[in-house]
Structure formats: C-alpha cells, structure tokens
Structure 1
Amino acid sequence: MTPIDALDFRLLNDFQRGFPLRADPWSAVGTQLGCDAGDVLARLARLRDAGKISRVGPVFAPNRIGASTLAAMAVPVADLPRVAAIVNGFAGVNHNYRREHRYNLWFVAAAADEAALAALLHAMGEATGCPPIALPLVEEFHIDLGFDLAPGQAWGRRTRHAVSADVPRRTLSAADWRLIAALHDGLPWQPRPYRSVADAAGLDEAGVLATLSGWLADGTLRRFGVVVRHRELGYRANAMCVWAVPEADVSRLGHQLAGHDGVSLCYRRQCDAPDWPYNLFCMIHGRSREAVEARRAELATAVGLDRLPHAVLFSTDCYKQCGARYRAPDAVAPPTATRSSLAA
C-alpha cells in the first residue's frame, strides 16, 4: 500500500466537504496546507492513480434530483459474476457489492423519476432472472456521504440529524442537466477547473460557481469535495447492519444510533418483501472484521437494539463503485446489459 504523509491525510480528510468554490481552488487548498497549487494537483493525481480517491466533485443528496433506491437480489453463488456484470451494464447503477446473505447482491440504482426507476428494476430482473427487491429511503438519520478518517473527532458529528426522505425534488433546467453531466467524473485537473466545466456545459464560470453554491445551500448537494475509496485506505471491512424495529420506535432508535461514533451511514428504509423484515440500517467500516463486529455489538447494546431481529451483511466483493450518473428525463439510453466484464 502506498504510504500517505500528513499533507495527504489532510487532503483526504479535510477536503471531503467545503472544497473551495472559486476560480483557483487548488491555490486555495494549497494556502490552507502550506504548499502551492502544483503540489496539491500532483498529490491528488498520485492519490487518484493509487486508487485512494475517485474524484473531486459533487455528491448529490438522495432523491433530490431523479429517483434512487438501494436494491438487492438473491443470486445463486456460481452465477454472481454473470449477474453482477449485467447489473453493472445498466445506466444508473453506481454501486454494486456482494454481501453475506441470501440476498447477496446489493446495488444502488438511479433514474429520472419513480416510473423510470421501476422500469429499470423490472428490466434488471428480466435480464438476470433474479428479480430485485427495492428498499427506498424513508428517513435519513446520518447520510453525510463522506468518510471520516479520524473517528471520534467533530468531523463526523456535526451533520447528524433526522431528515425525512419525502422532500421536494428540485426542478432542473437544461443548463442544470448539462452542468451535472459535465461533473460526472469530477473536476478536471486544470488550473481553472470550473471554467473547464463551464466550457463543457456551455455555461460561464461564474454561473457554475453560483449554481454549485446554491445547491449546497439548499441541500441539493450533500457535499462537494474529495471522494475517497475507503478500502484502498485500509478500511477493508464493512458491514451493513440491519434491524427489524417496530414502526413506532424506528425514528427514535435510528436517531440514537446515528449519534454514535463508528456509524458511517444510518437510515430507515421501506421494503414489502416478506423475507426481508429489516427497516433500520447502518453501515460500519473498520480495518478488520473483528473490529466491525465488536463495534456493532457495542452499538446494539448501547441503543437497545440487541434483542431485536437483526442481520449483519459483510461486503466481500466490490463489483462497481463510482459516482451516480444522473440523466435528464428526456435523455433515455438503453442498458448495455450484455456487458461481459465486471466494472472496476
């Protein structure tokens, strides 16, 4: 594993949010780190090439543009590579993992609206022979969508609060959709990256910066900054921990759970599948399986979840991990479901 020094650590941890929205962001970052813009770009490029970051760019809040859901399939183990490749080939799939459960393939799917999302999931079932279950977000207790590399610090505490998933969806203009498309892969490694994005979207630099600032202010963007790959940074164990909680208690217990250190994500989801009774979810990451298991047990006891039906789904394989690819409602693209190789 390529070592990181103190400046690398600050780049990775401190700039996952609050990344400068100004014409010369690399210089602004360098000023905070005590180095120049060239060094910032060189370090980011090295971290990207080592697989430690995927991009520097926007992370949209769930369901603020388009519709999305967590979904799962029960796939015969021998058939997982084939089915995962088919799922990866559909536009709108941005994360796809194997987990230890009868429902062993878990992915996030996004589409322009609920009807398009339902059609997408149906098409996946037809193409794979494994109908997915959908688990739409109902209430979020902590979905910061960053990854705290210094657990126990204030970084992970300040944005935790319960938010209903039933929020108005932003109406986007054609220019907004062009900007989103231009930012799919993050900022380009250019001295004036926002101007390059503006040129690609047919906009002006000042307008791009104003739009991004507005989206951060109104919650359309959850954050803008460095997107890290936790596995490549040594956090190779992660488990999706789920409980079946009485509906009258799930909000209270979810809020309590989200307030503890070690919880990367925490939310309430809906599911009508008779063999999936779980409605409270949290993600726990660690450097070892034993550390994750120990923290899960501590959290369950602390919150009062230890006597409720539960399951622990460790991730064993990552078939796809990238930023969500949002498309304008009229930008319909057929799925490339015959793709034969797994996405990185």
Structure 2
Amino acid sequence: MAELTTLGQLLGAANSQYQVYDLGRRVQHIDMMAFHQIEALNSPYPFPIQGHAQFALVFWNQHGQEFVWFLKLPLDEQGLLNPAARSQFIKMVLEALGKDLTQALSDEQQQQLDNHPFAFRPSQEKLALFNALVRKQLGQQASGQYEFAMQYLSGQLPPDQWQQLGFQGLADICVRLNDLDHLQAVSYALENAAPQAIAALCQCLEHVSIPAVLADKLLAGLKTADDQKLFYLRALASCADASTQALQWLAGQQQLNADTLLTIAARNWTALKQEQARTIYLEALALQEQHFFNQIFADIVSIPALRNELLTAIRSPERSVQLSAAIGGLFRATRT
C-alpha cells in the first residue's frame, strides 16, 4: 500500500468526497484545486493566522452521512503547511480508524480523535456561518432558527425580541443574501433592529460577500455609531474598497487605536493592498507599544497577498521617524 502523505490522499483512500473551508480570519470556501496546491507544498496557505492554517474538512460517505474535522496546522516561514505535523495527524487517524473514516466510533477511538494536538474549536459565530455555508453548498435546508430570524430582520417582530435570535438563523440568511428578499431584510434591520441584533448580524456579514449597496449602508452606520464601530468595520471585510474608506475615515477621526488596528489585521486586511491605506495603517501601528507592533506586523506580513507590499513599505525612505523606530525594534526582537 502506498504511503498516504496528504489529507486528500487519506480521504481518497477512504472513498470519501470532501470540501475545505478556511476558519481562520473569515469563514470561506477553499477551492479544491487551490487546496491541492497547498497540500503539494506548491502554494502558501492563503489565509494564515498567527502562524497556522485553521480550516475544516467536511467529508461524507456513499450514504451521504457527513463528518467534520476542525484542524489547526502550523505553517513554516514561507507560509507552507508543515508536512511533519500533517503526517503526525494522518498517522493518528490511521491508527485510530484505519481506512474507514466514517465508521461508528468506540469511546476510546472518540477520545483519541478529540484530544489530538491539531484540533480547535471555532467561535460561536464562525461555527454558525460554517454550518450555514455547508448546508447551502450541499443543497440542504436552512436551520430551524431561520424562520424567526427572517421575521425579526424584516420587521415582522418588535425590536425588543432580539434575545430570541440565534447566530445560526442570522448566518442562514447571510449566506443566502442573494436569495428571496434577504438583502432587503438585512438592510431594514441595520436601520431598525436593536443594537444587540445589529452587532450579531454584522458578525455574520463579515464572513460573506456583500453587494455595494449594503457596503454603503454599513459604512454610513460606521460613521454614526457610538460604541459599535468595530462591528460595522468587521462587516465590511469582504469589500476592499469600503474597508479602505473606513480605514481612512477612522484615521481622520483619530480612531485607529489598538482595537481598530487589530480588527483591520484580522478581518479587513484587504484594505492594506492599497498603498495610501497601507501607509496610514503602518504609521498608526507604529504609535502603539513595541510588542503590539511586532505581533500585528508579523501576522499581516504572513498573508501572501500582502507580504511583498509590506516588506517594500518598511524599506521606504519616506517612512516617519516613529515607523523607523518601530521597525528597528521589530528587527532587534527577531534577533534575540
């Protein structure tokens, strides 16, 4: 029997079909061709977070029964999967289950799979978005929370009934934003729902692609919100142009504080592809504590789509004295 060295080979040997979803910065589907390139170590993981790839493998047997692995695998300095860690996980699975990955598990087998070092538990909203996205892509119905969420968002229920809303119902609507009158309901809710409901809705919107008309509404909400600016900002994560506008407006309001900078790095990082926004961000980041600068810069420079631009930016002769000092501190920390 040929040695199984990749997750794709492992699932193929078990006659399982599968899909892959990133659960690091945002919940999003990873194209199978792209995942094969990642597994072959030909491409860096596209959405690294804190030096790891956090993703879900959804696979199912010939009877349509579904199974999920939530995996957190380390990456090397080039952003490639660590093959030793992957091999360790594959070995553990084979020792526990053999090739029948969809068998009923004994208590001992379940304990082995629950306690391995590469497992992680997604946050509540990410888990809701993941479940909604999988249901949609597999052609399944939305959850039982969908109906109440739709009634609430569309104004059929009073705003003070927000306590009965669940993330899962909101997620079901957000991943189906282009279906029925979902966009209309979401737009209505952003202007009329309780603040708590709007915050939860924004946490779901940050993981889906939003149309320009909704991005405009969220950007307007960001500019008028008192204590919920970060929720509106996160909801713009899929829209690079709107995220850039939000970053520039926040800078003009002297509101690029540590929480805002962290949010942009984690969710709205596509704004940093734009040179002016990138310069504003790095200059604001340089005003923070040195350890915070080091941590955030190390995180965003690991994103393949930003790496070259960020490395060029920190070498710019036009950078400020503060940014030069922060970069010097970063280099000193890496040498110790």
Q: By the TM > 0.5 criterion, same fold?
A: no
Q: Which has the higher contact order (CA 8 A, sep 6+)?
A: 1
**Structure number with higher strand proportion:** 1
Q: TM-score range by the shorter chain?
A: under 0.3
